[in-house]
């Protein structure tokens, strides 16, 4: 006991157990939490975590608080009956801090989006990973997102796990991604559509009948001098319509275009060819056709129905074999823009006539299709089917020569924009490149990004490194990595959420950096989503989902106040997406908190300690004593 008394009399021990340490710690913690709240209100919760809640200094404050609490309890040894409430209270506080730490390190908090009539078990969690995936290789490593830049020294341990195939050289917390390369090829108009659910860059080439069917509307471009929609017309008149298979063909056509010129090099009737096509030193082999292609375990397989026609090709070019997947409904999507292949491919089939999209069309996955874990969007994304009741029409008012002169002299580039709903013009405006306005559909903001009339192929534009996220207001810009590939002289940019196909030591890999996707131990099937609005408004009063778990026959209701608890996970009805002419999407918040029971226990111990402490300090206890 004499030894313990000497320890307690030590100045450092006294400081760690003193109120002089506890009070400043609590004040600093309160100010830090206030700062985090202000940052969250200005930006969002993720940025508040980056600059406050997930920082080493904020964690250190909690560690010091736990040390102060423990030393304060130890300072009362040997305990007397009067210390009972004090000691129990401090045990409760330490237990609470322990439970919070377990939640912080081991807890899962993510989002699960399920389309009506579909199933999913993929949960997007708010942690970043880098993945390298090959035919016989798969490696995933976590990368902590931070608000400051980091160099290669911060990634030594991560790089060692990839066997020298890749090396992360630098981390940038905020970047402004460039437009995709395809937006810069040839003549056309690049624009952006954005609201709370999506943020998409789109491109329309300058040709008759050019249109994109996406999300809440169909977007189409009327070239120089051609007649577009007017208040007196019922449809757009164009010199030539979109290409369809002729009645004399098999109904399945592979269209091959030159990348640079955009001209059609060859059209192949897939019903008459012997599955091999030789053109320009490139051999194209038709591996398989799918009426409803579905990706399962990194392989394309045939699913039920015929609503997603897919053509799988094997391309031999420059001594390299390249795999390509062509979606009939999504002609602009491809696995990668490989420089070895000078052609672009389009799969046309009567099963996917773009003029009459089916309501059951699958949602176009964001990112790299062959990787099943990335077939859902981080934010819910846009269905690939646009409503033909809603049309956005861009009309080029002047001749091609006039536009070329305006571009050369730096004059404003005017484009007439019409918003058409059920064959009626609801809004009409002339915008210059760089200008934007809000449409009446889902709060969608449309911005004209760029316009060019001179065909060119530009190299990959570099992202703009941002010092802070102010330019993005309430949305947090993506982070990015500079990654060195084995055998390559220059590193590549890897922007968050944008997977790439790369070649490393004669092998093809997919490399991905972005939010992690985990699998639930069960599959959730959304039978029906329903929403009740306040009378006379479109504001939701309540909304709920009827779901089934795995192959269970019993339907379960998940509503705003009735979560589903299963296998240690809790699913809350969080949000939804309702887009015209597309199935409803229900969004669930998924939570797994292994520290919950520890925090409950700590709260119980703390409450008991406070009750005992209050009672033993009362006159009633003293009178009995």
CA 192 to chain centre: 17
If pLDDT is split at 50, 70 and 90, which confidence band does 247 have?
Answer: very low
Dihedral angle of Cα 54, 57, 60, 64, to the nearest 10 degrees: -130
Dihedral angle of Cα 511, 141, 484, 320, to the nearest 10 degrees: -30
Strands 188-194, 445-452: pairing is: antiparallel
Nearest-10 crossing angle of helices 84-106, 56-74: 160
Residue 367 clears pLDDT 60, i.e. is over it = no
Residue 238 clears pLDDT 50, i.e. is over it = no
pLDDT, position 167 = 94
**Which range has the top average pLDDT, 245-249, 258-262, 440-444, 609-613?**
609-613
Instruction: Give dist(CA 9, CA 12) in Å, integer.
Output: 9
The residue ranking higher by pLDDT, 271 or 182, is: 271
> In this structure, how many other beta carbons lie within 10 angstroms of the beta carbon of residue 153?
6
Residue 368 clears pLDDT 80, i.e. is over it = no
pLDDT, position 441 = 62
Nearest Cα residue to 127 out of 150, 149, 104, 148: 104
Q: How does pLDDT run across 187-218, given as a tens digit for each residue?
A: 788 888 876 656 677 788 876 557 776 655 78
Residue 386 clears pLDDT 60, i.e. is over it = no
The residue ranking higher by pLDDT, 4 or 588, is: 588
**Which range has the top average pLDDT, 13-17, 399-403, 470-474, 535-539?**
13-17
- 43-47, 328-332, 539-543: lowest mean pLDDT where? 328-332
pLDDT, position 547 = 93
pLDDT, position 250 = 52
Q: How does pLDDT run across 545-597, given as a tens digit for each residue?
A: 999 998 888 899 999 889 999 999 999 999 888 876 678 889 999 999 999 99
pLDDT, position 176 = 81
Residue 481 clears pLDDT 50, i.e. is over it = yes
Residues 6+ apart with CB under 8 A from 493: 460, 462, 463, 480, 481, 482, 483
Query: Helical H runs in 75-150?
Result: 84-106
Instruction: Give dist(CA 256, CA 267) in Å, integer.
Output: 6
In terms of C-beta density within 10 A (0-12 exposed, 13-18 middle, 19 or more buried), how is residue 276 classed?
exposed
Q: Are 112 and 120 in contact (CB under 8 A)?
A: yes
In terms of C-beta density within 10 A (0-12 exposed, 13-18 middle, 19 or more buried), how is residue 419 classed?
buried
Q: What is the mean pLDDT of the chain?
A: 79
Residue 137 clears pLDDT 70, i.e. is over it = yes
What b/e readout covers 523-538, taking b as 16+ CB neighbours within 10 angstroms?
ebbbeebeeeeeeeee
At residue 320, what are phi and psi to the nearest 5 degrees? Answer: -115, 140
For range 174-180, the mean pLDDT: 71
Q: How far is CA 458 from CA 182, 237, 259, in A?
A: 9, 33, 12
Instruction: Give dist(CA 512, CA 129) in Å, integer.
Output: 8
Question: Phi-psi region for residue 547, left (φ > 0), alpha (ψ -120 to 50) or beta?
Answer: beta
Instruction: Give dist(CA 306, CA 349) in Å, integer.
Output: 11
Instruction: Give dist(CA 150, CA 131) in Å, integer.
Output: 19
Q: Are 194 and 200 in contact (CB under 8 A)?
A: yes
Tokens of 352: 């996917």
> Looking at residue 185, what DSSP letter applies?
S
pLDDT, position 314 = 84
């Amino acid at each position: 006991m004499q030894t313990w008394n000497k320890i307690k009399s030590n100045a450092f021990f006294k400081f760690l157990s003193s109120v002089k340490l506890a009070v400043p710690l609590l004040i600093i913690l309160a100010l830090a939490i206030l700062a985090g709240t202000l940052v969250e209100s200005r930006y969002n919760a993720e940025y508040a975590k980056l600059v406050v809640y997930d920082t080493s200094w904020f964690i250190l404050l909690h560690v010091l608080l736990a040390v102060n609490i423990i030393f304060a309890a130890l300072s009362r040894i040997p305990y007397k009956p009067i210390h009972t409430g004090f000691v129990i209270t401090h045990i409760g506080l330490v237990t609470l801090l322990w439970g919070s730490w377990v939640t912080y390190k081991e807890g899962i908090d993510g989002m699960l989006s399920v389309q009506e009539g579909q199933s999913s078990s993929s949960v997007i969690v708010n942690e970043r990973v880098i993945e390298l995936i090959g035919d016989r290789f798969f490696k995933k490593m976590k990368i902590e997102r931070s608000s400051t830049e980091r160099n290669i020294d911060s990634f030594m341990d991560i790089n060692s796990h990839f066997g020298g195939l890749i090396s992360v050289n630098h981390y940038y917390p905020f970047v402004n991604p460039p437009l995709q390369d395809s937006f810069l090829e040839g003549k056309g108009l690049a624009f952006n559509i954005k609201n709370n659910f999506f943020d998409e860059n789109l491109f329309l080439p300058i040709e008759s009948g050019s249109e994109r069917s996406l999300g809440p509307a169909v977007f189409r471009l009327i070239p120089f001098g051609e007649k577009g929609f007017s208040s007196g017309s019922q449809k757009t008149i164009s010199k030539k319509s979109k290409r369809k298979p002729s009645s004399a063909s098999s109904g399945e056509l592979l269209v091959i275009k030159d990348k640079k010129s955009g001209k059609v090099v060859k059209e192949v009737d897939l019903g008459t060819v012997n599955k091999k096509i030789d053109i320009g030193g490139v051999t194209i082999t038709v591996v398989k056709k799918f009426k409803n292609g579905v990706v399962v375990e990194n392989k394309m397989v045939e699913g039920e129905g015929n609503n997603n026609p897919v053509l799988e090709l094997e391309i031999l070019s420059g001594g390299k074999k390249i795999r390509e997947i062509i979606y009939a409904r999504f002609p602009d999507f491809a696995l990668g823009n490989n420089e070895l292949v000078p052609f672009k491919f389009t799969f046309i089939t009567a099963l996917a006539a773009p003029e009459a999209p089916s309501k059951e069309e699958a949602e176009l996955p964001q990112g790299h299709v062959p990787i099943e874990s990335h077939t859902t969007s981080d934010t819910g994304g846009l269905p690939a089917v646009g409503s033909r009741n809603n049309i956005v029409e861009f009309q080029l008012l002047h001749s091609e020569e006039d536009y070329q002169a305006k571009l050369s002299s730096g004059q404003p580039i005017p484009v007439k924009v019409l918003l058409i709903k059920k064959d009626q013009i609801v809004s009409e405006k002339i915008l210059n490149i760089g200008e934007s306005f809000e449409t009446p559909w889902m709060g969608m903001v449309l911005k004209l990004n760029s316009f060019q009339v001179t065909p060119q192929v530009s190299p990959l534009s570099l992202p703009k490194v941002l010092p802070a996220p102010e330019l993005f207001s309430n949305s947090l810009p993506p982070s990015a990595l500079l990654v060195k590939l084995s055998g390559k002289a220059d590193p590549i940019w890897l922007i968050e959420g944008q997977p790439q196909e790369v070649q490393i030591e004669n092998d093809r890999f997919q490399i991905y950096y972005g939010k992690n996707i985990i699998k639930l131990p069960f599959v959730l099937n959304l039978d029906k989503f329903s929403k009740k609005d306040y009378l006379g408004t479109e504001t939701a009063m309540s909304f709920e989902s009827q779901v089934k778990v795995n192959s269970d026959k019993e339907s379960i209701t998940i509503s705003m106040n009735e979560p589903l608890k299963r296998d240690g996970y809790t699913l809350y009805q969080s949000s939804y997406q309702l887009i015209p002419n597309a199935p409803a999407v229900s969004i669930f918040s998924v939570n797994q908190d292994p520290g919950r029971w520890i925090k409950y226990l700590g709260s119980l111990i703390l409450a008991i300690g406070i009750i005992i402490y209050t009672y033993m300090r009362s006159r009633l206890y003293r009178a009995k004593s």
